Amino acid sequence: MKTIVCVATTKTQLATAEEVASAGLKAGDIITLVIGLLAFVAAVATIVATIHVASRNIIAQQKENRRQERANAYAEAIRAVEDYLETPYRIRRRDGSVGVRWELTESISAIQSRISFHKDWLRINAPYEVYEAYLEFDQAARVEAGRQMTAAWNGPVTKKDRQVPLRTALQQPQSAAAKDAVLDAMKNCLKT
């Protein structure tokens, strides 16, 4: 009885076991060759899959890093305006000395410089909605805190420790509403 094995040549044909053996190939050699080829294909597929998964993870991590950097930049921008809103309190608590007056004016100048930096950074890097909302927050803060700073400069200086607690908060409703709006815009931006 003859065993028939399929051997690929330029023409597909059936060969007998004797013909395969006479060509110097044994059935075990062919099986070993096929197993080796399958192992090679499996190894290549594993490498390709590993590279694909690693690439996706790297891309996802880079995206998360950029999102985190943007979130930090947004937080710093908010903090700059918050520092400006805090300035009337600092002025109201001044002791009237030249040194404190100089320190306060330097501080206000530095805060305004930081706000300008953040406005420019947002104009370049943030979506238009975030930039516009930040401009409105800054404008509301300048109007409300600006008036409050003027009143504080014209008010009495702190001479005793018991005068430090102001007991009443300064009202800044437009700034609070504008802050909520810019925070919403920033949150929406960070979701994408």
Domain assignment present for residue 163? The answer is: yes
What's the average model confidence in pLDDT over 74-103? 96
- Total Cβ atoms within 10 A of residue 124: 8
Domain count along the chain: 1
Domain assignment present for residue 137? The answer is: yes
- Within the chain, strands assigned E span 4-7, 13-16
Quick check: 1 pLDDT over 50? no
Give the residue numbers spanning the domain of 98.
73-191
Token pair listed for 82: 């918050």
Domain assignment present for residue 171? The answer is: yes
Domain assignment present for residue 165? The answer is: yes
What's the average model confidence in pLDDT over 17-30? 65
Dist. CA 42–CA 168, nearest whole Å? 74
Dist. CA 156–CA 168, nearest whole Å? 16
- Whole-angstrom CA distances from 1 to 17, 25, 54, 94, 182 are 10, 20, 54, 112, 87
Domain assignment present for residue 150? The answer is: yes
Domain assignment present for residue 167? The answer is: yes
Assign 5 a pLDDT band (cuts: 50, 70, 90). Answer: very low
pLDDT of residue 113: 98
Closest of 137, 138, 130 to residue 184, by C-alpha:
130
Least confident of 99-108, 117-126, 158-167, 172-181: 158-167
Domain assignment present for residue 11? The answer is: no
Quick check: 6 pLDDT over 70? no
Domain assignment present for residue 65? The answer is: no
pTM (predicted TM-score): 0.73
Report the percentage of the chain scoring pLDDT > 70.
87
Contact partners, residue 188, CB within 8 Å, separation at least 6: 129
3-state secondary structure of 5: strand
Dist. CA 33–CA 133, nearest whole Å? 68
Long-range contacts of range 108-114, CB-CB < 8 Å, 24 or more positions apart? 108/84, 108/149, 111/80, 111/83, 111/84, 111/87, 112/84, 114/76, 114/80, 114/83
